[in-house]
């Protein structure tokens, strides 16, 4: 798992690349999010376009990220979900929790609305 960071307007976009599974990416994501929150960033967008595989630990890390960001007054949203990640979020009812977008432009502008 690699995480690349970009800033669009007032939103930090994290491009996740690779599997998000136990021992592979879950700790990296946690550290990245904690660093961004410590730096005062509140609007975070996870781009999941290049995440081919998520297991329960990886999904759990996304949930933990969401709750961590929310508790600190921030907002976490998801964009470019693959069909399989969408299916995972659907069966776990997490689609009802997360703000998800098909377009990065729509996702970024949603932080301003």
- Beta strand 11-17 pairing with 2-8: antiparallel
Nearer to other proteins, 15 or 61 (CB): 61
Residue 72 interacting with other proteins (CB under 8 A): no
CB of 10 to other proteins, least distance (A): 25
6 has which bridge partners?
13
Distance (Å, whole) CA 66 – CA 77: 8
Residue 21 interacting with other proteins (CB under 8 A): yes
CB of 110 to other proteins, least distance (A): 21
Order of all β-strands in the sheet with 2-8: 2-8, 11-17, 43-50, 75-79, 99-101
Are 53 and 20 within 8 A, CB to CB?
yes
Span near other proteins by CB under 8 A; candidates 8-16, 18-26, 36-44, 103-111 = 18-26
Applying CB under 8 A, which residues contact other proteins? Answer: 21-23, 53, 55-57, 59-61, 63-64, 66-67, 84, 91-94, 97
């Amino acid at each position: 798992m690699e995480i690349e960071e970009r800033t669009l307007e007032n939103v930090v976009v994290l491009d996740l690349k690779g599997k998000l599974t136990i021992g592979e990416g879950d700790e990296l994501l946690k550290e990245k999010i904690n660093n961004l929150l410590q730096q005062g960033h509140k609007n975070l967008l996870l781009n999941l376009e290049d995440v081919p595989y998520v297991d329960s630990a990886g999904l759990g890390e996304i949930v933990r990220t969401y709750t961590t960001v929310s508790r600190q007054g921030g907002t976490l949203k998801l964009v470019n979900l693959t069909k399989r990640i969408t299916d995972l979020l659907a069966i776990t009812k997490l689609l009802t929790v997360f703000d998800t977008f098909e377009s990065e432009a729509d996702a970024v502008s949603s932080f301003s609305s």
